[in-house]
């Protein structure tokens, strides 16, 4: 009988948490092709099941600004709609003015008071954005990550508020990185963001990687090593004269406002004009694509292997240009290809979850995969104007 109760407990916990497996949303999920890869039933599932509360100021508003115009861009069929009120057939996002930096000491209690209010008992997703992450810390005294973990321990699946019956609806908490600041890979902003990323990997949390999305253009070209900032500008020969968004839209078809039906996506549009405080509209486009991808995942969507492989090709990742050996592998792998060193290697499982990140400094560098579970993995190598991929089997 004890074993039966244990099995029932595990099943109940699985049902509680299965709709939101932990994952990281970054530039790999912020293309138009990524949005179109989401089955419409999971868009509908997100709209019917998720009730989101989101605190943001100007930078964080880019997500909402991009989402506001997205349905018009996609043909105005009422598919990608979001509202600030609970309206059937739309994604409910209760947006609040506030952010993690200005309210560093008070946001956890603001969240508790909000969730404890009886009118908010159906809220099941919480997001707080950063206005300016500089001058703050990922986890000191205690910092952002520890405070998030405290909220998860209370209101998350299996949390004390849930098990005590004080609250019946468990909450998924979305971690966020802060926007890029033009400091590059060695700057304090990226140091804090990397702390948050590593925490989410170690703790299996949901992360919306705001900074990573604006470190790449839609073709996968990487600009953080050129000190890109929140306006999408970057250094060229030491001067801030480049702008990856302005450069990418040259020759592309723009939908110039919600009424410009002739240039929406079904009619060949590549991107759309929308508000994007501090930045370019293309950045807000990508933030919206990534947000819908995340909400579908929270609602329970698991991308298939074929979808991930198709996305690699459609989003500009040159699949199959990496040679991985030995393949299959048990302990270590080496990779070969047209790689410009130094570079960054990311290994993803078939759900799109990042499993390993490592710096590549030279050819035939040994990469330890001993701790990976058995299965098929996607490798992506990125760096200065390169984005190539391959795959291998771990046994």
Distances (CA, A) of 75 to 79, 90, 268: 9, 15, 11
Q: b or e along 194-215 (b: 16 or more beta carbons within 10 Å of the residue's beta carbon)?
A: ebbbebbbeeebbbbbbbbbbb
* C-alpha span between 155 and 125 (Å, rounded): 10
* C-alpha span between 88 and 108 (Å, rounded): 30
Q: Along the 395 residues of the chain, how does pLDDT read in single tens digits?
A: 333 333 333 333 333 333 345 788 999 899 999 999 999 999 999 999 999 999 999 999 999 999 999 999 999 999 999 999 999 999 999 999 999 988 888 999 999 999 999 999 999 999 999 998 887 765 655 589 999 999 999 999 999 999 999 999 999 999 999 999 999 988 999 989 988 988 888 888 999 999 999 999 998 888 999 999 999 999 999 999 999 999 999 999 999 999 999 999 999 999 999 999 999 999 999 999 999 999 999 999 988 644 544 444 444 344 446 888 898 899 999 998 888 888 899 998 866 678 999 999 888 899 999 999 988 888 888 876 677 888 888 88
Tokens of 391: 């795959």
* C-alpha span between 129 and 190 (Å, rounded): 16
What structural domains does the chain harbor?
Answer: 17-302 (no CATH), 312-394 (2.60.40.3080)
Q: The pTM is what?
A: 0.78
Is residue 189 a contact partner of residue 180, using CB atoms and an 8 Å limit?
Answer: yes
Three-state DSSP class for 21? Answer: coil
CA quadruple 110, 83, 277, 75: dihedral, nearest 10: 160
Q: How far apart are the first and last CA of the chain?
A: 36
Q: Which residues pair with 97 in a beta bridge?
A: 56
Residue 10, preceding peptide bond in cis (omega within 30° of 0): no
Is residue 182 a contact partner of residue 240, using CB atoms and an 8 Å limit?
Answer: yes
Tokens of 214: 């604006």
Angle of the 281-298 helix axis to the 40-49 helix axis, nearest 10: 80
- Other Cβ atoms within 10 Å of 346 Cβ, number: 18
């Amino acid at each position: 009988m004890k074993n039966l109760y244990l099995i029932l407990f595990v099943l109940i916990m699985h049902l509680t948490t299965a709709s939101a497996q932990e994952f990281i949303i970054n530039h790999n999920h912020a293309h138009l092709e990524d949005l179109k890869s989401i089955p419409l039933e999971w868009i509908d599932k997100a709209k019917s099941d998720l009730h989101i509360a989101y605190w943001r100021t100007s930078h964080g508003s880019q997500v909402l600004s991009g989402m506001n115009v997205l349905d018009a861009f996609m043909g105005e069929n009422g598919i990608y709609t979001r509202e600030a009120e609970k309206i059937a057939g739309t994604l409910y996002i209760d947006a609040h003015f506030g952010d993690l930096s200005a309210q560093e000491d008070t946001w956890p209690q603001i969240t508790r008071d909000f969730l404890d209010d009886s009118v908010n008992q159906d809220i099941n997703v919480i997001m707080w954005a950063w206005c300016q992450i500089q001058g703050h810390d990922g986890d000191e005294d205690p910092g952002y990550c520890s405070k998030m973990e405290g909220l998860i321990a209370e209101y998350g699946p299996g949390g004390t508020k849930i098990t005590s019956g004080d609250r019946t609806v468990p909450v998924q908490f979305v971690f966020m990185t802060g926007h890029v600041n033009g400091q590059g890979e060695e700057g304090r902003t990226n140091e804090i963001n990397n702390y948050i990323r590593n925490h989410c990997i170690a703790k299996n949390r949901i992360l919306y990687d705001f900074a990573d999305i604006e470190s790449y253009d839609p073709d996968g070209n990487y600009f953080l090593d050129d000190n890109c900032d929140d306006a999408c500008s970057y250094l060229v020969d030491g001067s801030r004269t480049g702008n990856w968004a302005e450069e990418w839209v040259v020759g592309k078809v723009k939908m110039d406002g919600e009424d410009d039906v002739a240039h929406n996506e079904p009619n060949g549009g590549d991107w759309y004009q929308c508000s994007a405080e501090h930045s370019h509209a293309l950045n807000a486009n990508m933030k919206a694509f990534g947000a819908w991808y995340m909400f579908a995942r929270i609602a329970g969507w698991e991308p298939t292997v074929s979808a991930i492989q198709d996305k690699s090709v459609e989003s500009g990742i040159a699949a199959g240009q990496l040679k991985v050996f030995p393949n299959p592998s048990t302990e270590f792998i080496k990779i070969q290809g047209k790689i410009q060193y130094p570079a960054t290697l990311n290994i993803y499982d078939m759900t799109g979850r990042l499993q390993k990140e490592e710096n590549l400094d030279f050819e035939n560098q040994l990469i330890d995969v001993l701790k990976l579970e058995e299965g098929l993995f996607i490798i992506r190598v990125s760096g200065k104007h390169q984005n190539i991929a391959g795959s291998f089997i771990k046994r």
